[in-house]
Each structure stands twice: as C-alpha cells, then as structure tokens.
Structure 1
C-alpha cells in the first residue's frame, strides 16, 4: 500500500514562477533612484505626498499579486492535505485498538516480572525486611524488558549483603550515638554516612564538655576569690574585737556597780549617765553583768 500522485506527475510540479521580474526591477530601480534623490520644500510638499502615494500604490499592487499567486499555489495543496488527514484518522483508530492491547500485554508482563522479583526478595531477605523493605528495593527500571533478571538478582543480593553487614557493624558499635547512626544508615544504606554522623556528634559533645569545663573552672576561680575575700573580712573583724577602741570614763562604771553590790546596808539609788564603746560580744557580757548585779539600766535619751 502506497500513495501515488497522478497529477501533476513527479516532474510536473511547478519549479519556478516565470514573470517580468528583471524588466520590472530595472524600471523600479530607475524611478526609486529619482525619488530617493528628490528634495521637497514647503511649496512642493503636495508633490511629495503625491509621489509617496504612487509608490505605496505600486507596493500594494506587488503585495496583492504575491498573495494571489500564493493562494492559487496553495489551493491544490490544501485539498491534498485535507484528504491525507482523513486517511490518517482511519489509521489512528486502528493504532489505538492495537496500542491498547500492546499496553495491556506489557502491563501484565511487568506485573509478572515484579512478582518474580518479589519472590527472589522474599527468599533472600530473611530477618532484614524491617530494615530493607521491598519498596526500597524495587526500581522502575527493573520492570523494563531490557533489564535481565540476572542483573536484578545480583543487584538485590549485593544490597541485602550491604545492609546486613551495616546492621551487624552498628549492633557491635559501643557508642551513645548508635541510634542516630542507625537512623542515618537506614536512610541511605551507606555505612560511611552513619560513621560521619558518629564523628559529628562526638565532636559536638567534645565541644560541649570543653565549654562546661571552662564554665566550671571560671566558677571555681570565682568561689576561691570570694572565699579569700570573706576570710580577709573575718580576720579583720577578729583583730577589731581583740583591740577595741575604748574611752577611759566608761570603764569605771562596772567598778562602781560592784562596790554598790558589796555594801551590806541599803543605799540610795543614784542615776549615772555615760556612753560605752563595745563590740557586740562585749555588749552582751556587759548586759549580763548588769543583770546579774541587779543594776537597773535603760537607754539614754538622744539629745
């Protein structure tokens, strides 16, 4: 079945349109050269408009003829093109029917191949399925006719072995980051990536410990300094208690009180005002002495 053109025959197609191109070209070149060199002033502007109109009319005539010839040339082609399209519609209908059946066959073949791949996977995965599910194993390219079962089995076997060895290595790893390492490994099945996670976390922990150690050192230095300052203040207080500054007059009061206590007969009570400079502990001792001696005392009103 082939398409045959009866008219025009193969060498009957028009090759060139013959017309007075050269004569018309020479005439137009002469006339346009004159117009191109023309100079118009205000008085001759009407002539310029007339000349422009003549040239536009000539141009429109040429363009009109070109469109007319094009239409005449395309008319037989348009008819021919429409007839061809009517035939391709019939062919497309037949292709569609066949294409549906071919695709159905290919779909069934892909499902059968996937079932075989699943069967091989189930027979070799053992207890690794939770780490390497079938969905992570199957690839769209495996279902192509061009991909052999031999290459698929080799690739799956290598993947199962890689995961098995990686999980075994991680299970034997004594590291606080083994959970993070396993999580990374199960993303990529790349033991190198898992070890990189371990190194990164260990480096971060070292930095944290160094930071905490530095904080502890600074805190210890502050505490030592504060303790030294406190001890210095305590020692200064002890020196002040050992050598308090006292005035002579207040020291006579206790002697007077003692002498009064030793008098057997009752004497009239006298009021004696004086100021005593003492430390806190000395003040407590003085209060105890006065109380024990039965000497009444009270604050002196401020002047």
Structure 2
C-alpha cells in the first residue's frame, strides 16, 4: 500500500483589539468604587452602577465568546475533515482485523482438533486416568513444538501411569478397585493409593485382633473353674468331651489332681 502523507498549512491565529486602552480606562473608572460606602440615600445610585458594571462585564464576555467561536471555525472544519478521513481508513481496518481474528480462530480450532487426534491415537487404555485436559500442555500450541514432541509427552505420561497401576496391582489388595479409584481421583497420586491400602490393612488387623481376643475370652470362660479360697476343691465332671477338655487344661497348667472313684 502506498504511504500517504498529510500536509497541513497552518497560520498562527492573531487576534487584535484595544486591550490596553480599555484596561486603563476601566482601571480609572473602577477606582471610584474602591472606597464606596452605601448610605440610605445612595442605594439607588449604587444599584444603577452595579447594573451598568454587569452590562459591561457581559458585553466583554459575549465578545470573547463571539471571537472564540469565529477563531475555532477553521479548527472545527479541520476536525470534521479528519473524521471523514478516519472513517475511510477505519472501514478496511475493521474488515482486515475481523478476517485476521476469524483466521486465527479457525487455525486454533484446527490445531486443537489435530492435538486431540494425536492424544486419541497414543493414549491407549489410560484415558480414564489421563484425560486430554490433564495431559495437554500450552507448549503444544507453539509452532516450534513438533508432533513428535507431543507424542513423546503423551507416551511419558502413559508410561508413568502404567507403572503406578502395576505397583497398585502388585499389592494384591482386597480393595484393589478402591485403591485404583483413589489413584484416579487424586490426580494419579501413587502414594495416596498405597496409603488407602495401608489404612485398610491397619483397620483389618485391629478387627482381627479384637475377634481373636474375644475368642480367647470365650474359650477361657468355658474351662474356668469355680473360685474358692480353699486349697482343695471337689467337683464332678460328666461327659467324655468335657472330661477331655478338663484333662487338657490340667495338663497344660501343671495342676495336681486326685481322682476320686464315683
């Protein structure tokens, strides 16, 4: 596009009027009011002077406005012309800008489609652990970042997850599914999955120890002899099974017994 140069010929604005003459005349006339004192008899005259001074002030102000308006006419005309020029330029600017944005949006959409295709082709069976949003990196959008680099990133992520899952499965946990769920929900945190299994084993161990203790207590109650303060007690046992239990208990604890024929 050919470069255009705006040429403006501007003459400095000059406004001449009898400023000094009017100022000196006003100063002389205004001195009459510096020591003015209002009396009952002089109020009408003071009001008349006030009205006259306000008229003079208004006349000066109106003249200023008239001169300013006239002085700004060429500036106003220049500004209007510039606005017309800008409107002519802005039309193609808007069109080109819109087309560039449309082109960029299309390019970004095509790039995202291509990236998703690379992801789908290389993620294998691990999409549930590695959703696209978790794997994709902003650097994938760089022109200098090749498809080979992107595939490498995906493969590295898959290798890590596969290894972590193998570790979880090697635990042989009774709650393997729950451990895998924790792994997935914790953004593939292997430590969280292992801790889930460790917590389960700890609770299970406590439960088993409690059951074992309760079982021991129940068995002890079955063979517990009646309490007595004497050194010797006499009791009769009937039933072959009961006799065997008591004999085992006596032998285990080294108790001296004497059989009394019944």
Structure 1 residues 42 and 108: CA distance shift in structure 2, 3 A? same
More RCO (CA 8 Å, sep 6+): 2
Superposed counterparts of 1:20-31, under 5 Å: 20-31=18-29
Superposed counterparts of 1:264-275, under 5 Å: none
Where does residue 13 of structure 1 map in the other structure?
12
Instruction: Establish whether residue 4 from structure 1 lines up as the match of residue 7 from structure 2.
Output: yes
Note if contact 1:128-1:164 (Cα within 8 Å) is conserved in structure 2.
no
Where does residue 150 of structure 1 map in the other structure?
145
Where does residue 49 of structure 1 map in the other structure?
47
Instruction: Supply the distance in 2 between the matched residues of 1:35 and 1:137 (Cα, whole angstroms).
Output: 88
5+ residue gaps in structure 2?
Answer: 200-262
Structure with greater Cα Rg: 1
Aligned length: 185
Note if contact 1:121-1:134 (Cα within 8 Å) is conserved in structure 2.
yes
Where does residue 83 of structure 2 map in the other structure?
85
RMSD over aligned Cα atoms: 4.5
Where does residue 185 of structure 1 map in the other structure?
186
Note if contact 2:38-2:46 (Cα within 8 Å) is conserved in structure 1.
yes
Q: Secondary structure at the match of 1:129?
A: coil
Instruction: Supply the distance in 1 between the matched residues of 2:28 and 2:113 (Cα, whole angstroms).
Output: 84
Q: Which moved more, 1:129-138 or 1:176-185?
A: 176-185
Structure 1 residues 61 and 136: CA distance shift in structure 2, 3 A? farther
Deviation at 1:140, TM superposition (A): 7.9
Instruction: Supply the distance in 2 between the matched residues of 1:31 and 1:151 (Cα, whole angstroms).
Output: 89
Which of 148, 164, 168 is the matching residue for 2:164?
168
Instruction: Supply the distance in 2 between the matched residues of 1:179 and 1:101 (Cα, whole angstroms).
Output: 49
Instruction: Establish whether residue 106 from structure 1 lines up as the match of residue 104 from structure 2.
Output: yes
5+ residue gaps in structure 1?
Answer: 203-303
The CA deviation string for residues 68-112 of structure 1, in whole angstroms up to 9 with x for no partner, is 111112222222222232333332333333334323322232223
Superposed counterparts of 1:133-282, under 5 Å: 133-136=131-134, 147-150=142-145, 157=153, 161=157, 164=160, 168=164, 185-186=186-187
